Amino acid sequence: RCVQETEPGWFNLNYDITHNVIGGSVLFGYHVPGADCNQVNGFVNNTAHTNRYGFYFLVNRTGCLHLSYLTAYKNYDGVLSYDQNYQTRGEYMKITDNKYGVTLGQAQEASSGSLILNSLIAGLSLINNCPECYQDPKECEKVVGMRLPISTDQAPKTFPLSKPTSNVNYYGRSDISRNTFKDFNPGKLNCKYVIAIQTNEDAADGHPMSIFHKNKVVNTPLQNLVYFNPPNPSWINMRDCGDWQCTGLTNVIMKDMDGTLLDKPGTILSVNKGVVDERCKLIVSNNIYICDTQDYSQLFFDSLDNDRATRIFSPVFITSEKFTNKLNSFMDHTWHGEYTLSLIHI
């Protein structure tokens, strides 16, 4: 027995788990607590392949998870950690040929964010030596290296475990540094969707700011480097976003601090015409703007009124001389029989 529940909701890793290979699981390859950030990692040199979730890491007692020296390939979700932790650090990971390579998240109000460091994130790893390995379109119909990390009040309790089911908080940020994004280039292959970095498509309320620096891009053209998902049209209903769209996915900010992603320092923004100026260029195929500036940031505000859970307070317009941003409240994540609660977070 390698995992022991010492208190409800808290897990400790009793024994080292090293040098294992798990494949073919219909659900989890590894379903274990992440190692403590301040201790020697007892979970290293493990491999997961062809599982629904290769690695799914639970919160540990400290709330700071350290995921390192692991390999995930040909899983649906390669590495996923999204529990009641305040910080997640993933480093020295090898993640290749997964439907979704790595998805990190936190579920604490005082989150300090996610770090992805010193890792290899590859798409079609055999593209140079074995292009015939991808002749079957099913082998590459969807390949995503990483989702931008998210931070919410609570962790998901239902599948899919990457889908936010509570309000986003913006107290942390995501730092992605010294990684290599490689071989997200299908060339002439019949691959429908090969992307190194994308947003979390289910994050209706948005993402913390993501900061990239000292990364390396190999054999990955711009059209396959970054994609920001648009809001899902099905969210427009009175149980979710109301009678118009949630605006989290139209207010995502990703900064390239040193130009190692975009060839020069800049900012990637969601398609939101009111917030961009002449320094920004629309890239239609990627659903993004690329801006020659790092001036953009995020504003987060919240209603403290007693009726904040029963009164809709939107739209809100943020305006200046050449700036207009129309914002909706967060998605309604609470279902109470015959009615829902619409919290006023923006």
3-state secondary structure the chain: CCEEEEECCEEEECCCEECCEEECCCCEEEEEECEECCCCCCEECEEEECCCEEEEEECECCCEEEEEEEEEECCCEEEEEEECCCEEEEEEEEEECCCEEEEEEECCCCCCEEEEECCEEECCCCCCCCHHHHCCHHHCCCEEEEECCEEECCCCCCCCCCCCCCCECCCCCEEEECCEEECCCCCCCCCCCEEEEECCCCCCCCCCCEEEECCEEECCCHHHCEECCCCCHHHCCCCCCCCCCCCHHHCCEEEECCCCCCCCCEEEEECCHHHCCCCEEEEHHHCEEEECCCCCCCCCCECCCCCCCCCCCCCEEEEECCEEEEECCCCCCEEECCEEECCCEC
Segment 167-189, tens digit of pLDDT: 887 677 899 999 999 999 998 88
Segment 80-124, tens digit of pLDDT: 998 888 889 999 999 999 999 999 988 876 667 899 999 999 999
Confidence bin at 332 (pLDDT 50/70/90): confident
pLDDT of residue 41: 63
pLDDT of residue 48: 98
Q: Is the pLDDT of residue 3 over 80?
A: no
pLDDT of residue 144: 97
Confidence bin at 346 (pLDDT 50/70/90): very low
Q: Is the pLDDT of residue 148 over 70?
A: yes
